[in-house]
Amino acid sequence: MMIVIKEIIITTVLTFVYAVAWSQSYIRPDHYWENPYLVSPAYINNQYIGIISAATRLQWINVAGAPKTMWLTGAYYLEEQHMQVGARIIQDKIGYMNTSSVSLSYSYAAILDENWRLDMGLAGSWQSINYDQSKIVADNSTDPSFADDFNNRNKLNADIGIELTSNKFKLGMAGQNLFGLWSGYSGIFPQTWLFYSSYRWFTENMVDCQLGISQYFCGKWSQNELSVMAVFKKNERDNVQSDKFYAGLFYRHRYELGATLGMNINSQLSLCYSYTYNNSAIKYNSVGSHQLMLTYRIKPKPPCHCNF
C-alpha cells in the first residue's frame, strides 16, 4: 500500500535527519541537570517536601511537523520515611503522530552517612500512541495494513533509576521503557538507558562551577554529552550563600551545541531556558530548538533534618 503524506518533501527531510542526526529517537529534555526527575524516578531533593515542574520543548523551529514536547512533574517527599512519591506526564507530537505517557513513581533514600545517600526509584507508566489520520492520505484506507500501521495503541511500561549522591557529587543510572525488551514495544516506546555524573566545586567566591557528563543508549544508537555551568550566588543572612542564577554550555556528540540560562526568582520559584543548535542537515531548514522550564518548590516546616 502506498501512503502519501502531506508536505512530503519536509517529511522526507525529517526522516533522513532522524536516521543521520540521532535526534528524536526518544523523548529527551535539556533540563535534566536542573530536574533529574524528568528522566529518572530515583531523583530526590530532600531539602523540599514538594517540587512541581512544567517544561516545554519546541524542536527544529520553522520545520513543519517538528517535535513538540511538554512535561509536567510533581514529587512529594516524606522525610521521616525517607521516601518519595511522584508523578510525571509527557505529551509529545511529531508530525501526525502523538504519544502520551502518565507515570507514578516510588523512591527511597538510603542514608549511607552524613555526606552520602543512595536513592533508588521505580515507576510504572501508561503510554499511548495515536495518529491524526486527517493528515494522512491513502490510496485505499480500507486496506488492513493501513489499520495495522496507524491504529491507536496503549501500553503499560516501567522505568527504574539509582543515584549515589552527596552535596557535591552525583552518579546515576536510569532505564526508561523497560518493557521495550519485549516484542510489540520496541518500535513504539524504545528502551533507553542513561548514565550520568556531575560535580560541583563549592567555593567561598560568588561563582561556583559545575561539570556534567552523560551517555544515552537506545538500541544501537548512543550519544555523549558534556556540560559546564557557572552558578552565581548571593549572600544571605549569617553569611549563608544561596544560588541566584546560572549559565552553561553543553555539547552532544556529534551535531548539537546548546546554552542554558536559569534563575531563582525567589526561594521557591525558578525559571530556566535552553537553546540548542543542530549542525546536521537540519540547520538549513531550522533556526534551532528551544526549551523552557518553570519549577515551584515547597519548603518543609522547621526543623528540617535534610542533610543535602
**Mean pLDDT estimate for the chain:** 84
Higher pLDDT, 143 or 198: 198
Domains of the chain, start order: 3-298 (2.40.160.40)
The residue ranking higher by pLDDT, 45 or 14, is 45
Is pLDDT of 21 > 50? no
95 pLDDT band (50/70/90 cuts)?
A: confident
Whether the pLDDT of residue 276 is over 90: the answer is yes
**182 has pLDDT over 70:** no
Is the bond preceding residue 254 a cis peptide, omega within 30 degrees? Answer: yes
pTM, two decimals, is 0.83
Question: Residue 5: beta bridge partners?
Answer: 136
What are the C-alpha distances in Å from 2 to residues 38, 64, 103, 140?
Answer: 38, 22, 36, 8
Q: Which residue has the higher pLDDT, 132 or 182?
A: 132
Residue 233 has which C-alpha cell? 550566588
* Residue (of 236, 237, 233) closest to 201 by Cα position: 233
Pairing of strands 50-58, 289-298: antiparallel
Q: Is the pLDDT of residue 305 over 70?
A: no
Q: Which residues contact 305 (CB under 8 A, 6 or more apart)?
A: 79
The amino acid at 190: P
Of 36-40, 45-49, 119-123, the least confident: 45-49
pLDDT at 4 over 70: no
